[in-house]
Chain A
């Protein structure tokens, strides 16, 4: 059974870069699925950040595209998120999730990790 686990700093300074990793266990990141990041500011709704395929192909939310980089490390069976020039508005719970290609839905989610942007 595939499981996802996010990790990374819980506190990032304004104008800095947020970096998170999602470890995939119980399955291969090279399977026919896309791997995604979704965030949720406190008390607010879900926002799709972007996705990556094991080949390295990516798609990003247009509103975040200039600041986001998602990468994959097949040797470690994990993928990562970098978000640059962060502000308080980027404070959120960040989730990694698997997208099933055949029906474009997020079927497996990590538990989420809270990232606060503050000096």
Chain B
């Protein structure tokens, strides 16, 4: 199974919005709403930010939102804050009953 495709980096200024894409195939992202997003600041474990494409766990700010169209899922962070600077990973369940992660995107808050 191939990793989902994410842009290596994105950036934005405080208060702006950024969107991170995650492209898979009809065997993963395109077939299931089991797409999740994780935030990983340097030296820490990943943290679940979005599940089932667009749902936020308790405690995650509503500045974080998710969507999906076809084989591509997206994470949007609005009202950027300095604390949002981290690596972000998408993940999807697959038709082989496995999971696949994206390559990761480094978010820089300018």
- A residues lining the B interface (CB < 8 Å): 36, 38, 44-48, 51, 59-63, 95, 99-100, 103-107, 109-112
Contacts and interface: CB of A to CB of B under 8 A. Distances in A.
A110 B44 CA distance: 10
Nearest to A61: B98
Per CB-CB distance, the 3 closest pairs between chain A and chain B, nearest first, are: A105-B51, A105-B36, A104-B34
Nearest to A100: B51
Contacts of A106: 36, 38, 46, 48, 91
A4 B99 CA distance: 20
Q: Assign chain B's interface to a size class.
A: 20 to 34
Contact of B45 (A48, A63, A112): A112
26 contacts: A36-B99, A45-B3, A45-B103, A46-B38, A46-B101, A47-B101, A48-B99, A62-B96, A62-B98, A100-B51, A103-B55, A104-B32, A104-B36, A104-B51, A104-B93, A105-B34, A105-B48, A105-B51, A105-B52, A106-B36, A106-B91, A107-B48, A109-B45, A109-B47, A111-B45, A112-B45
Contacts of A61: 1, 98
Contacts of A38: 46, 101
B9 to A, nearest CB: 13
Contact of A46 (B1, B34, B51, B104): B104
